[in-house]
């Protein structure tokens, strides 16, 4: 029997001789970084996409005015621009482009390419879903809405080929960080126009073989659901210091599959480690485990238009009954308990407004007229079918045990989940928000009355007045102080119940050098090296 | 013969039309909007995008437009994968699913049919009990359990085979997905083969052959195999259509870039053009496979040949 079993295994053994090189070892030799990237990009056209997955790839192919720093979120190394200055109240910024900047086909990179990019994204016919990232530019929103048709009225101009002047609608002291987002990147005007009109949504300009970029890498191959390969760009301004020969982005959607692939030597870094595996990895191979903060917050969205939930005391009681530390220690491994929505952002340190306080929670609920939950209906907790079931089940138990509130879980497919929130067709919903740039406005602006991401029914004119006041404030310290007051007002009303600041658990090989924790997770590909 | 073929063709076209119509209206009945994003886009852009994709038209008008496109052989563009033609998605993913399906069916036939024959030949013996127990095990144990176990053992622990990934020209990447996918089908095939063979073995001509002193193996292979395989062949046709149009579980567990993942993703994101494209392809494959199965059945069964 043993002999038979061996004879069955023999062909397999022949296929893989002992000591065969793993994909990672081969990639180390060839200086190719193998990266788990969660899913296939929707597109590589920076004006048609909105996601992090696409950002990871696009920022290897295109470079903005300033570059990413490998060790700091708030350091701004030069990118396509070598220097910049702004006026006293941060409403006018001037960027000086590098005169040796080139596209990967050798064409010179000029300020016209940036202006063309902003024109294309903002043009009403392009239908760019993320055009609002540029609304900080003067008249940009009006142009995008079609209220003005002359692009020269938008706050962007080029005094010469290598100078770009941006005029903002309000003081924007955090502009440098924003320009690292792909919506602010230049696009190759000469290539896009070769394949069609400026506003044509679908042309083959960003296909392999056609894509021309100014980043450290060029697009080599894109096999759907398999991989996106980029290779070193010899015409990149800093090509001499780019240590990798290429990157391979692998869209491993199943994080268990991705983890297995990493441990089998097929990846240098994973996109995410499933929380249930954290303890096992800590035990078996802690050298690979990375647990780092990330610019995102998990919370529970409340539909404040629903009877009973329209009472702030009920919402606050529910919030005070959540033991966030217990949740983070046991379910959301790597996350940090939080009592507000905005994480610490350098100079901005928000107050932690709510924390676990069961006695106060019970008292508040009784004050609201629902002692021990009597009189409250069974609320439904909406979640996406891929959401954390452990989190909602734990919260369900906490509310039942502490307050006597019973809830039912309501899992829905992603599309139905988003749609239900947008239509306010839910009671409470498990949700999250990821910041786009390092400024509290990325977490606070969405809670205004008509914002498409609010989805709570909550609004407060005083809150909106404060946000407007902050927007007009030129002094950065004053501006942040107003944001802090506004955030307190929002959280004290508990239209959302904060849970935790998101942590990123992932696996990463030690031979990848030039990689350190970054809140936005934008590791600059051009400074990374492989040193086995 | 031609009349029968023509009639079959007309029936197939009608089935495809019904499939198209039912799928279209089911997709439209699903809650949500294909333009939903995690971060909502400005309302004025959403309205224009709905117009761009024709989502603001009455459902019947959308049906007419979509049907017209299909009649011209143009399934349109994906909404999720911005600007990507449905034909492009299918032409990239289907060959992978096809290759995996053929290999898996090869595994299933290689294991399932001999196991079924052996079990029938040794009815109620140790081999029969063992083969059928293993088959029951294969049927009951889903591939999302077998797949990760194989990947963990051969991929991670022994590092003999890749734990994930697919390369059309590297056989090492085919083995684990094809074996995992093929095992469940092998289990079904062995049971069907056993049943078919047992029925054939109980026929009078077998008794006559035995009386004449024909060796057992000769009776089994020469006299019974053709008839005994009829149930298995009837199963292989439709199963083959299913297996080559993608398996979500296998594709997810082994990171295979096949059609199944596109199909599920398109359903999750209400990407109607991709849902329709893949469904119509699947429908066509089932019809063709059934037709070929019928032909094979006629070839195997002389009585059917006469009646047809």
- Take residue B193 and report the two structure tokens written for it: 């083969």
Question: Would you call B32 and A416 a contact, using CB atoms and an 8 Å cutoff?
Answer: yes
Whole-angstrom Cα distance, residue A307 to residue A294? 35
Residue B154 is predicted with a pLDDT of 94
CA distance A306 to chain B (A): 21
Which residues 6+ apart lie within 8 Å of A440 measured at CB? A342, A345, A348, A350, A480, A483, A484, A487
Residue A414 is predicted with a pLDDT of 81
- Take residue A446 and report the two structure tokens written for it: 């969405």
* Cα A167 to Cα A66, A88, A236, A438, B82, distances in angstroms: 17, 13, 28, 20, 31
- Please classify residue A299 by burial: count the beta carbons closer than 10 Å to its beta carbon, then call 0-12 exposed, 13-18 middle and 19+ buried: buried
Question: Would you call B156 and A263 a contact, using CB atoms and an 8 Å cutoff?
Answer: yes
For A217-271, strand residue ranges (E) read: 217-223, 227-232, 246-250
The answer, yes or no, to whether residue A10 has pLDDT greater than 60, is no
Residue A148 is predicted with a pLDDT of 97
Find chain A residues with C-beta within 8 A of B80's C-beta. Answer: 42
Q: B109 near B187, Cβ under 8 Å?
A: no
The 3-state DSSP class for residue A399 equals helix
Phi and psi torsions of A65, nearest 5°: -65, -45
Enumerate residues 278 to 337 of chain A having a beta carbon within 8 A of any beta carbon in chain B.
none
Closest CA to B165 of A218, A254, A199, A87: A254
CA distance B196 to chain A (A): 28
Residue B75 is predicted with a pLDDT of 92
Q: Tell me which of A46, A129, A196, A296 to substitute to probe the interface with B (most B C-beta atoms closer than 10 Å).
A: A129
Question: Would you call B269 and A15 a contact, using CB atoms and an 8 Å cutoff?
Answer: no
Does A265 contact B at CB distance below 8 Å? yes
Whole-angstrom Cα distance, residue B107 to residue B101? 10
Phi and psi torsions of A150, nearest 5°: -95, 110
Q: Where are the domains of chain B?
A: 89-307
Nearest CA in chain A to B81: A42
Which residues 6+ apart lie within 8 Å of A218 measured at CB? A61, A104, A211, A212, A230, A231, A232, A233
Does A260 contact B at CB distance below 8 Å? yes
Q: DSSP string of A290-322?
A: EEEEEEEEEEEEE-TTSTTTT-HHHHHHHHHT-
Average pLDDT in the A184-206 region? 95
B202 dihedral zone (left: phi>0; alpha: psi -120 to 50; beta)? alpha
Q: In chain A, what percentage of residues exceed pLDDT 90? A: 88
Nearest CA in chain A to B79: A42
Find chain A residues with C-beta within 8 A of B36's C-beta. Answer: 414-415, 418-419, 422
The 3-state DSSP class for residue A92 equals strand
pLDDT confidence bin for A123, thresholds 50/70/90: very high
Find chain B residues with C-beta within 8 A of A22's C-beta. Answer: 159
Residue A97 is predicted with a pLDDT of 98
Average pLDDT in the A85-90 region? 95
CA distance B275 to chain A (A): 14
Residue B308 is predicted with a pLDDT of 53
Nearest CA in chain A to B258: A225
Average pLDDT in the B171-187 region? 93
Q: A433 near A299, Cβ under 8 Å?
A: yes
CA distance A311 to chain B (A): 27
The answer, yes or no, to whether residue B276 has pLDDT greater than 70, is yes
Find chain A residues with C-beta within 8 A of B77's C-beta. Answer: 202
Residue A19 is predicted with a pLDDT of 57
pLDDT confidence bin for B226, thresholds 50/70/90: confident
Nearest CA in chain A to B152: A260
- Take residue B133 and report the two structure tokens written for it: 């127990």
Nearest to B156 among A260, A418, A420 (CB): A260
Taking only the tens place, the pLDDT of each residue in A233-271 is 999 999 999 999 999 999 998 999 999 999 999 999 999
Pick the CATH number of B89-307 from 1.25.10.10, 3.40.190.10, 1.10.10.10, 1.10.3720.10: 1.10.3720.10
User: In chain A, what's the furthest Cα-to-Cα distance?
Assistant: 84
Question: Would you call B269 and A415 a contact, using CB atoms and an 8 Å cutoff?
Answer: yes
Taking only the tens place, the pLDDT of each residue in A361-384 is 999 999 999 999 999 999 999 999
Share of chain A residues as helix, strand and coil, in percent rounded to the nearest 5: 35, 20, 45
Share of chain B residues as helix, strand and coil, in percent rounded to the nearest 5: 75, 0, 25
Closest CA to A271 of A256, A287, A286, A293: A256
Residue B307 is predicted with a pLDDT of 58
* Cα B133 to Cα B116, B129, B188, B257, B265, distances in angstroms: 12, 6, 12, 33, 36
Q: B27 near B276, Cβ under 8 Å?
A: yes
pLDDT confidence bin for A2, thresholds 50/70/90: very low
Closest CA to A376 of A421, A321, A314, A435: A314
Does A18 contact B at CB distance below 8 Å? no
Whole-angstrom Cα distance, residue B169 to residue A437? 43
CB neighbours of residue A186 within 10 Å: 27
Taking only the tens place, the pLDDT of each residue in A38-72 is 999 999 999 999 889 999 999 999 999 999 999 99
Mean pLDDT of chain A: 93
CA distance B269 to chain A (A): 6
- For the ranges A13-27, A131-145, B74-88, the lowest mean pLDDT is seen at A13-27
User: What is the interface size between A and B, counted as CB pairs within 8 Å?
Assistant: 164
Whole-angstrom Cα distance, residue A295 to residue A315? 25
pLDDT confidence bin for A14, thresholds 50/70/90: very low
Whole-angstrom Cα distance, residue A1 to residue A478? 80
Nearest to B82 among A42, A256, A419 (CB): A42
Buried b (16+ CB within 10 A) or exposed e, B35-55: bbbebbbbebbbebbeeebeb
Nearest to B163 among A129, A261, A413 (CB): A261
Question: Quick one: angle between helices B272-300 and B59-71, nearest 10?
Answer: 50
Enumerate residues 188 to 227 of chain A having a beta carbon within 8 A of any beta carbon in chain B.
201-203, 223-226
Closest CA to A201 of B48, B43, B66, B278: B48
Residue B205 is predicted with a pLDDT of 87
Q: Tell me which of B30, B134, B165 to substitute to probe the interface with A (most A C-beta atoms closer than 10 Å).
A: B165
The answer, yes or no, to whether residue A15 has pLDDT greater than 70, is no
Whole-angstrom Cα distance, residue B276 to residue B20? 7
pLDDT confidence bin for A204, thresholds 50/70/90: very high
Taking only the tens place, the pLDDT of each residue in A380-430 is 999 998 778 899 999 999 999 999 999 999 998 888 898 899 899 999 999
Question: Would you call A260 and B175 a contact, using CB atoms and an 8 Å cutoff?
Answer: no
In chain A, count H helices and then E strands. Answer: 17, 16
Find chain B residues with C-beta within 8 A of A15's C-beta. Answer: 160-161, 171-172, 175
CA distance A240 to chain B (A): 33
Average pLDDT in the B111-137 region? 89
Taking only the tens place, the pLDDT of each residue in A297-320 is 999 999 999 999 999 999 999 999
Q: Tell me which of B40, B144, B145, B251 to substitute to probe the interface with A (most A C-beta atoms closer than 10 Å).
A: B40
Nearest to B39 among A42, A201, A453 (CB): A453
pLDDT confidence bin for B122, thresholds 50/70/90: confident
Mean pLDDT of chain B: 88
Nearest to A422 among B40, B42, B93 (CB): B40
Question: Would you call B163 and A260 a contact, using CB atoms and an 8 Å cutoff?
Answer: yes
In chain B, count H helices and then E strands. Answer: 15, 0
CB neighbours of residue A374 within 10 Å: 10
The answer, yes or no, to whether residue A173 has pLDDT greater than 90, is yes
């Amino acid at each position: 029997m043993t002999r038979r079993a061996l004879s069955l295994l023999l062909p397999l053994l022949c296929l893989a001789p002992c000591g065969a090189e793993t994909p990672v070892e081969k990639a180390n030799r060839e200086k190719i970084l193998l990266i788990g990237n969660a899913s296939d990009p929707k597109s590589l056209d920076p004006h048609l996409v909105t996601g992090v997955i696409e950002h990871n790839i696009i920022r290897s192919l295109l470079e903005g005015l300033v570059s990413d720093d490998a060790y700091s979120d708030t350091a701004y190394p030069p990118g396509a621009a070598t220097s910049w200055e702004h006026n006293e109240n941060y409403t006018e910024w001037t960027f000086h482009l590098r005169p040796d900047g080139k596209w990967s086909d050798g064409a010179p990179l000029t300020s016209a390419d940036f202006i063309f990019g902003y024109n294309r994204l903002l043009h009403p016919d392009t239908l760019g879903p993320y055009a609002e990232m540029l609304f900080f530019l003067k008249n940009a929103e009006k142009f995008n809405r079609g209220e003005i048709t002359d692009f020269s009225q938008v706050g962007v101009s080029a005094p010469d080929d290598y100078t770009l002047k941006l005029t903002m609608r309000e003081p924007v002291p955090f502009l440098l960080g924003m320009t690292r987002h792909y919506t602010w990147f230049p696009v190759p005007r000469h290539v896009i126009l070769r394949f069609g009109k400026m506003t044509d949504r679908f042309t083959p300009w960003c296909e392999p073989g056609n894509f021309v970029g100014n980043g450290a890498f060029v697009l080599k191959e894109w096999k759907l659901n398999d991989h996106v390969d980029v290779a070193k760009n010899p015409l990149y301004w800093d090509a001499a210091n780019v240590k990798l020969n290429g990157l391979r982005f692998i869209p491993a959607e199943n994080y268990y599959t991705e983890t297995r692939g990493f441990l089998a030597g097929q990846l240098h870094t994973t996109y995410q480690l499933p929380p249930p595996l954290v303890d096992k990895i800590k035990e078996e191979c802690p050298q690979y485990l990375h647990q780092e903060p990330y610019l995102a917050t998990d919370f529970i969205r409340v539909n404040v238009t629903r009877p009973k939930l329209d009472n702030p005391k009920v919402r606050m009681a529910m919030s005070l009954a959540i033991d966030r530390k217990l949740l983070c220690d046991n379910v959301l491994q790597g996350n940090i308990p939080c009592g507000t929505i905005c994480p610490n952002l350098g100079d901005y340190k928000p107050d932690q407004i709510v924390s676990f306080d069961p006695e106060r929670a019970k008292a508040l609920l009784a004050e609201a007229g629902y002692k021990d939950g009597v009189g409250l209906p069974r609320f439904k907790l909406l979640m996406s079918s891929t959401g954390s079931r452990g989190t909602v089940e734990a919260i369900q138990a906490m509310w039942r045990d502490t307050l006597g509130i019973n809830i039912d879980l309501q899992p829905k497919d992603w599309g139905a989940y988003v749609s239900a929130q947008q239509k306010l067709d839910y009671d409470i919903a498990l949700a999250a928000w990821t910041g786009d740039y390092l400024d509290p406005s990325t977490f606070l602006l969405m809670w205004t009355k008509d914002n498409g991401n609010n989805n709570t029914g909550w609004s407060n004119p005083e809150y909106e007045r404060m946000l407007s006041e902050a927007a007009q404030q030129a002094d950065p310290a004053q501006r942040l102080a107003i944001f802090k007051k506004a955030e307190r007002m929002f959280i004290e009303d508990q239209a959302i119940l904060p849970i935790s600041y998101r942590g990123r658990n992932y696996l990463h090989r030690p031979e990848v050098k030039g990689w350190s924790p970054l809140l936005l997770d934008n590791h600059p590909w051009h400074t990374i090296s492989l040193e086995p | 013969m031609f009349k029968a073929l023509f009639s079959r063709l007309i029936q197939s076209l009608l089935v495809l039309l019904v499939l198209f119509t039912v799928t279209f209206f089911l997709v439209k009945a699903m809650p949500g909007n294909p333009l939903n994003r995690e971060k909502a886009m400005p309302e004025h852009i959403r309205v224009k995008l709905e117009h761009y994709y024709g989502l603001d038209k009455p459902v019947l008008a959308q049906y007419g437009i979509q049907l017209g496109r299909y009649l011209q052989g143009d399934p349109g563009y994906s909404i999720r994968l911005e600007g990507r033609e449905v034909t492009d998605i299918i032409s990239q993913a289907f060959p992978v699913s096809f290759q995996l399906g053929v290999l898996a069916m090869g595994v299933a036939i290689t294991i399932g049919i001999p196991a079924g024959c052996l079990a029938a030949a040794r009815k109620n013996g140790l081999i029969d009990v063992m083969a059928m127990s293993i088959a029951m095990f294969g049927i009951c144990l889903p591939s999302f359990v077998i797949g990760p176990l194989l990947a963990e053992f051969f991929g991670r622990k022994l590092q003999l085979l890749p734990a994930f990934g697919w390369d059309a020209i590297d056989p090492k990447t085919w083995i684990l997905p094809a074996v995992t996918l093929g095992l469940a089908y092998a289990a079904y095939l062995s049971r069907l083969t056993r049943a078919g063979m047992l029925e054939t073995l109980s026929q009078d001509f077998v008794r006559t052959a035995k009386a004449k002193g024909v060796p057992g193996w000769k009776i089994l292979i020469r006299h019974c195999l053709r008839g005994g395989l009829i149930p298995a062949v009837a199963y292989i046709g439709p199963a083959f259509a299913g297996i080559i149009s993608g398996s979500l579980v296998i594709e997810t567990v082994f990171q295979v870039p096949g059609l199944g993942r596109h199909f599920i993703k398109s359903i999750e994101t209400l990407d109607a053009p991709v849902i329709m494209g893949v469904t119509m392809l699947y429908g066509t494959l089932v019809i063709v496979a059934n037709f070929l199965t019928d032909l094979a059945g006629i070839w195997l069964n002389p009585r059917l040949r006469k009646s047809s």
